[in-house]
Structures are given as structure tokens and as C-alpha cells.
A = this chain, B = another copy of it.
Amino acid sequence: MYVILVYDVHQKRVGKMLKLCRRYLNWIQNSVFEGAISELKLKELIFEAWQIMDESYDSIIIFSSRNERWLDKQVIGLEKNEIDQFL
């Protein structure tokens, strides 16, 4: 499956969440990730995210599509993940 993940977590937990999501998906912007992932791996990611999150404050939204071809992506302005590769 293909997923887009966006998180909104407290500043204190951003570093951990970023590191976790990068292990499973590709960072594309600020707090946005995308990538192909198996259902099992996605469950693992969600389980690990729960350990980091404060569910009374933090939020993660995961959009998933069974087929990557069902989703088009358009970038307007700066493609930030290209810069990221040089950092």
C-alpha cells in the first residue's frame, strides 16, 4: 500500500517522531511523509508512534491507497526533500 502521513505533535516530541517516520517512509515536507509500506510495517509504525505521542495533544493522520497510481502528486514551489539530501 501507499501512504501519506502527516503529524502534528508537540515540539518536545518532534525529534523522536521525525526519526521514527523516517525509518519507515520518505520525508517530503515539514511534518509530511510518503511511501510504499506493507500493512504489517504500517501497524508497527503506528504502534511505535503511540509510544511517543501524547494522545490528548498530538495527532497523526494517515491517508492510504492500495495503489500508488491512484494518487497524483504535484509540488508547487520548492521541492524540500531534494534540499534535504544535501543536509
Contact = CB atoms under 8 A, between A and B. Distances in A.
Interface residues of A, number: 37
A71 B75 contact: no
B6 A30 contact: yes
B4 A80 contact: no
Contacts of A8: 29-30, 32, 80
A27 B19 CA distance: 26
B78 A58 contact: yes
Contact of A31 (B30, B46, B79): B30
Interface in A5-33: 6, 8, 28-32
A59 interface: yes
